[in-house]
C-alpha cells in the first residue's frame, strides 16, 4: 500500500483509497442475492484493477528511486516486514480465538508457513508477493540484467492469463496444462504471475511516461478499458475462463490509468489526498476485522447472515470512521500502513 516513501501525487493517493474500497467489495459481495448481474460487475470485474494498481504504483516509485541512484532495498523490505508482522499478529490472534486454541502447536506451525509463503490472512498474500517482487527486480537490476525486468514481467503475466481467463483453453495442452493445474498454482499466480508483472509494470510506466501526454494517456485508457470489457465478455461467452482475475486487457488498462493519474496530479486536492493516502492503507489492512465483527454481531442478534450489500456499507463506514478517528488522534498506527 503506502510502502514507498516518495513525493506525493494527489491523484494517485485518491485512487489508491478508491482501490481499497474496491477490495472491500470483492470480500463482501454486495448485491449478490438481489442483483446478481450487477454484483458480478461490482465484485468480479471492476475491482480487478485494485491490487494490480497497488503493485504498479509501488513499482513505479521504487524504480524511480533506483534510477535516481538511491538504494531503497533494505529500508523498504524491512519496513514492509514490520508492517506485515504487526497486522499479522492481529489476525493470528483472531484465528487463535476462532480455532487455534484447539491445537496450539499446529496453529503456530501454520502461522509461520502462511506468514512466509502464502500470506498470514486471505488478503495478505500481497506482502509476500510485493517483497518477492522487490527482491527479484532488485536482483536483476544489481546483476546488470535490468533490460530483462520488463520482458520477464510480460512473460510471467502471459502465463498468468492463460491460467485464469484462458484456463479451459489451455488445460489439456501438454506441460502447460500440468503447470496451470497444479494445486499450488494460485500461490504461483499471486506472487510470480501477478505481483511481479505489475510491479515491473511500474518500471515500464517510468520508461514511457516521459513521452506520454494527457490526451494520449486518456485515449489509451479508454481504448484499454474497451478491450478489457470485450475480452471479459468473450472469454465468458466461450467459457474459456477459470476466473477473470487476470486478463490480457487488464495490464494496459492499469498502465494507462497510472499514466493519466501521473499526468493529471490534481494538486488542488492535496489535503484530501493526504487523508486518502493514510486511509487507504488502514482500510486495506483492517477491513477483514470489520467484516468479521459486523457479520458476527449481526448473526448473533438477527439469527441469520448479513447481506453482502449491508456488510459492504457497514465495512466502508466502519473503516472510514475508525480511520479518521485514529488520524485525528495522531495514532502511531498510521506508521504501520
Please report, for the chain, the start and end positions of each structural domain, with discontinuous segments joined by +.
Answer: 10-336
- Residue 40 C-alpha cell reads as 458480478
**Whole-angstrom distance, CA of residue 256 vs CA of residue 293:** 37
**Whole-angstrom distance, CA of residue 34 vs CA of residue 30:** 9
**Whole-angstrom distance, CA of residue 116 vs CA of residue 42:** 31
**Whole-angstrom distance, CA of residue 247 vs CA of residue 163:** 10
Q: Give the pLDDT of residue 80.
A: 97
pLDDT at 3 over 70: no
Q: Give the pLDDT of residue 1.
A: 56
**Whole-angstrom distance, CA of residue 62 vs CA of residue 57:** 8
Give the model confidence (pLDDT) of 88-140 as tens digits: 999 999 999 999 889 999 999 999 999 999 999 999 999 999 999 999 999 99
pTM of the complete model: 0.95
pLDDT at 4 over 50: no
Averaged pLDDT score across all residues of the chain = 95
**Whole-angstrom distance, CA of residue 244 vs CA of residue 246:** 5
If you compute the radius of gyration of the chain from its CA atoms, what whole number of angstroms results?
Answer: 20
Q: Give the pLDDT of residue 183.
A: 94
Question: Is the separation of the CB atoms in 224 and 253 below 8 Å?
Answer: yes
DSSP label at residue 175: T
pLDDT at 2 over 80: no
**Whole-angstrom distance, CA of residue 19 vs CA of residue 30:** 16
- Residue 210 C-alpha cell reads as 516521459
pLDDT at 195 over 50: yes
- Residue 22 C-alpha cell reads as 474496491
Q: Give the pLDDT of residue 100.
A: 86
Give the model confidence (pLDDT) of 265-314 as tens digits: 999 999 999 999 999 999 999 999 999 999 999 999 999 999 999 999 99
Distances (CA, A) of 317 to 23, 24, 26, 91, 311: 14, 11, 16, 21, 10
Nearest to 262 by CA among 197, 229, 216, 196: 216
Q: What are phi and psi of 40, to 5 degrees?
A: -60, -40
Q: Give the pLDDT of residue 210.
A: 81
pLDDT at 83 over 80: yes
Question: Is the separation of the CB atoms in 196 and 133 below 8 Å?
Answer: yes
- Residue 155 C-alpha cell reads as 512473460
Nearest to 25 by CA among 8, 48, 6: 48
Amino acid at each position: 500500500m503506502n510502502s514507498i516513501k516518495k513525493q506525493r501525487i494527489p491523484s494517485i493517493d485518491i485512487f489508491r483509497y478508491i482501490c481499497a474500497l474496491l477490495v472491500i467489495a470483492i470480500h463482501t459481495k454486495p448485491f449478490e442475492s438481489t442483483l446478481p448481474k450487477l454484483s458480478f460487475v461490482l465484485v468480479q470485474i471492476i475491482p480487478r484493477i485494485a491490487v494490480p494498481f497497488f503493485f504498479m504504483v509501488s513499482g513505479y516509485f521504487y524504480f524511480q528511486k533506483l534510477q535516481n541512484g538511491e538504494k531503497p532495498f533494505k529500508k523498504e523490505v524491512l519496513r514492509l516486514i514490520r508492517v506485515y508482522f504487526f497486522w499479522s499478529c492481529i489476525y493470528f490472534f483472531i484465528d487463535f480465538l476462532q480455532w487455534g486454541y484447539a491445537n496450539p502447536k499446529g496453529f503456530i506451525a501454520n502461522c509461520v508457513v502462511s506468514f512466509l509463503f502464502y500470506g498470514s490472512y486471505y488478503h495478505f498474500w500481497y506482502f509476500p508477493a510485493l517483497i518477492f517482487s522487490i527482491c527479484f527486480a532488485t536482483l536483476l537490476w544489481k546483476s546488470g540484467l535490468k533490460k530483462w525486468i520488463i520482458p520477464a514481467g510480460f512473460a510471467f503475466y502471459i502465463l498468468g492469463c492463460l491460467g485464469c481467463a484462458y484456463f479451459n483453453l489451455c488445460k489439456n495442452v501438454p506441460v502447460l496444462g500440468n503447470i496451470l493445474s497444479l494445486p499450488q498454482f494460485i500461490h504461483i499466480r499471486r506472487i510470480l504471475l501477478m505481483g511481479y508483472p505489475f510491479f515491473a509494470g511500474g518500471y515500464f510506466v517510468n520508461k514511457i511516461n516521459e513521452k506520454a501526454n494527457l490526451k494520449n494517456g486518456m485515449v489509451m485508457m479508454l481504448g484499454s478499458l474497451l478491450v478489457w470489457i470485450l475480452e471479459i465478455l468473450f472469454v465468458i461467452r466461450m467459457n474459456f475462463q477459470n476466473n477473470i482475475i487476470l486478463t490480457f486487457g487488464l495490464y494496459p488498462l492499469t498502465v494507462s490509468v497510472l499514466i493519466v493519474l501521473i499526468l493529471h496530479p490534481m494538486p488542488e486536492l492535496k489535503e484530501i489526498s493526504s487523508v486518502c493516502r493514510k486511509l487507504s492503507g488502514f482500510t486495506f489492512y483492517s477491513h477483514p476485522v470489520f467484516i468479521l465483527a459486523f457479520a458476527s454481531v449481526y448473526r448473533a442478534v438477527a439469527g441469520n447472515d448479513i447481506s453482502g450489500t449491508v456488510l459492504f456499507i457497514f465495512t466502508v463506514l466502519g473503516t472510514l470512521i475508525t480511520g479518521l478517528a485514529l488520524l485525528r488522534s495522531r495514532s502511531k498506527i498510521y506508521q504501520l500502513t
